Amino acid sequence: MTSSATLDLSLELLRQPSVTPVDHTCQTIMAERLENAGFTIEHMRFEDVDNLWARRGTESPVFCFAGHTDVVPTGSLDAWGSDPFAPEIRDGKLYGRGSADMKTALAAMVVASERFTAKHPNHKGSIAFLITSDEEGPSINGTVKVVETLEARNEKMAWCLVGEPSSTHTLGDIVKNGRRGSLNAKLTVKGKQGHVAYPHLAVNPIHTASKAIAELCETVWDHGNEYFPATSFQISNINSGTGATNVVPGTMTSLFNFRYSTEVTADELKARTLEILDRHNVDYDIEWTLSGLPFLTPVGELVNAAKHAIRNVTGVETELSTSGGTSDGRFIAPTGAQVLELGVLNATIHQVDEHVNVADLEPLAEIYEQILEGLLA
C-alpha cells in the first residue's frame, strides 16, 4: 500500500485512544502541523473537554474546517478483527475506531491546508480550524463553548466545512447542507397504584395515556419541504409497573423524540403535544430537551465550491441531503455561517471494525484543497 501524507497523519491520529471526552494529544498533533503552516494556535479547555481554535490570517471572510477528535467507545475488543487503536490496512481498507468518524477527514483537512497555504501564502481572508473532543458525548463543553467565545469577540465565520462522514456509496456522492432539529421529551403519566382485582380503587396510567399516545404516533406534523423530509415522532422508551402481574402501576414514563424540519418550530411541536395530552385528560408531567435546531445552507458559494471540487476530483455529481442525526454544525449555523458536511463513507461509523477505503483519503484532501482554491485563492 503506497503511503501518502493524508494516510500517514490518519494513522498517527488513529493511534490515539481518544474516547469522549479525552483528546489524547490528537489536537496537539494537529496544532503542531498547523502552526508550522502559519496558523495561530489557541487551546480552549472547558471543564474536561479540550478544544482547538487555529487561524491563519486576520481578515474576512473566514473559512473554517470543523470536526472532532473524540470517538465512541470500542465495545468488546474480542469482536474486532484488530486492535481498534492500532490501525491496520487490510484489502485496501483502513481499520480503526474513528477511521470513518472522523479522524481521516481531520488528516485531510490539515494536509489540504498545508498544500493550499504553500501555494498561496498570501491567500484571501482567513483559514480556521475548530476542533473539539466533545462531539460524541454531551456536547456541552465543546463546539458550543468555542462558538460562544468567538461570538463574544465578534470573530465570525463565513463558511464552515464539517468533516462528518457524509458519503454513502462513493466519495462525495452526498454532502449534508443541513440537519433536522432534534427535540426530546420525558413524559411521566400519573396514576394510582392498586390491586388488579380492584380496578375501581386504582388508576392505570397506561390505560389513561394510551389514546393520547396513539394520536401522537398517528399525527402528521408537517409534510417537509424541498430540503427536509416530514417531521418524525418516535417513542424510544416506555416503562411502567413493578414487574408483578397483579399490581396496577402508579406511573408510566415514556421517552420520545421529534426529528423536525424547518416547517415547524420546537415551540409548535410542544404546544401540539400538550394539546393532545390535555384533550385526552392525561395527568402528566413533561420535561423537554432541545438537542439542536434545524439548519439549512441553501445553494450558494460554499455548496457550489464543494460540488465543483467533488466533480473535478472524482467525477461525481453530488447530491444535497439533510438526513441523519445531529452534528456540531447545529452550533455553528446560527452564527450566520454557511455550513456543509463533507467526508468519507459512513457505512461503518460507530460499528465494530469501523473502516474507510484508503483510496479515498488523498482524493478527500484534494477536494478540501480545491474548495479552498474556489473560495480563497
Which residues are annotated as catalytic? 70, 135
User: Rounded distance, CA 216 to CA 211, Å?
Assistant: 9
Q: What is the dihedral of CA 77, 79, 81, 82, to 10 degrees?
A: 0
Beta-strand ranges (E) seen in the chain are 40-46, 49-56, 62-68, 88-90, 93-95, 126-132, 159-162, 174-176, 178-179, 181-190, 194-195, 232-240, 247-248, 251-260, 284-292, 295-296, 319-321, 338-341, 355-357
User: Rounded distance, CA 134 to CA 67, Å?
Assistant: 10
For residue 360, say whether it is annotated as part of any ligand binding site. Answer: no
Instruction: Please check whether residue 130 is in contact with residue 64, taking contact to mean a CB–CB distance below 8 angstroms.
Output: yes
Q: Compute CA distances 126 → 25, 55, 86, 195, whole Å.
A: 25, 7, 35, 70
- Give the chain's radius of gyration (CA, Å): 24
User: Rounded distance, CA 270 to CA 166, Å?
Assistant: 30
User: Rounded distance, CA 304 to CA 321, Å?
Assistant: 14
- Residue 169 C-alpha cell reads as 456509496
Please list the alpha-helical segments (H only) found in the chain: 5-14, 26-36, 104-119, 143-152, 205-218, 266-279, 301-314, 329-332, 361-376
Instruction: Please check whether residue 203 is in contact with residue 193, taking contact to mean a CB–CB distance below 8 angstroms.
Output: no
For residue 50, say whether it is annotated as part of any ligand binding site. Answer: no
Match 403519566 to its residue by C-alpha cell: 189
For residue 226, say whether it is annotated as part of any ligand binding site. Answer: no
For residue 68, say whether it is annotated as part of any ligand binding site. Answer: yes
Beta strands 93-95; 355-357: pairing state: antiparallel
Q: Cα-flanking dihedrals φ and ψ of residue 298, to 5°?
A: -70, 170
For residue 8, say whether it is annotated as part of any ligand binding site. Answer: no
Nearest to 54 by CA among 106, 16, 13, 14: 106
The binding site for Zn(2+) consists of 68, 101, 136, 164, 350
The binding site consists of 68, 101, 136, 164, 350
